[in-house]
Amino acid sequence: MQMKEYKPLIVAFCCNWCSYAGADLAGNNRLNYPADVKIIRVPCSCRVNPMFILRAFQRGADGVILCGCHPGDCHYTSGNYYTRRRMAMLFSMLDYLGIERERTRVEWVSAAEGAKFAATMNDFVEKVTALGENKRLEDLRCKR
């Protein structure tokens, strides 16, 4: 029997003003990236609660990537600075939980960087694929 090719499950959070537009631009330019990436639109990267990322890992995501405007270019002036700090803290917590650092990433992608968006996604999927399947976080509240 042939092993089914491993396909990671990647959740991408993209801010509405820069990265989501960057993803659209990647589409307009027909820049391919793996279909494993599923994008969720949020108004600003600072809308992403670290809980969302933990939830994704609980539900079996193999990687989570968070994209926002470049520092200094935030549509809401300071949102991505908060993102940067919150994610730094989340990453150290994920280290503690034993989830590999490569499974989470923060990238700044502007609305003009369609090529960067595609390249980032290709690279991220490649890295996560190399790591293999993620161990699923258990939600203690759901345990019977």
Catalog residues that contact other proteins under the rule CB under 8 A. Answer: 9, 11, 16, 20-21, 23-24, 26-28, 30-33, 35, 38-44, 46-52, 55-56, 59-61, 75-79, 82, 86, 118
Angle formed at CA 132 by CA 83 and CA 45, multiple of 5 degrees: 15
For 21-35, what is the HEC assignment?
HHHHHHHHCCCCCCC
In the bound complex, what is the minimum distance in angstroms from residue 55's beta carbon to other proteins? 5
Nearer to other proteins, 51 or 97 (CB): 51
CB of 9 to other proteins, least distance (A): 6
Q: Least distance to other proteins from the beta carbon of 59, Å?
A: 3
Place of tokens 């996604």: 121
Phi, psi for residue 41 in degrees, rounded to 5: -90, 130
Q: Which phi and psi angles does 33 have, rounded to 5°?
A: -145, 160
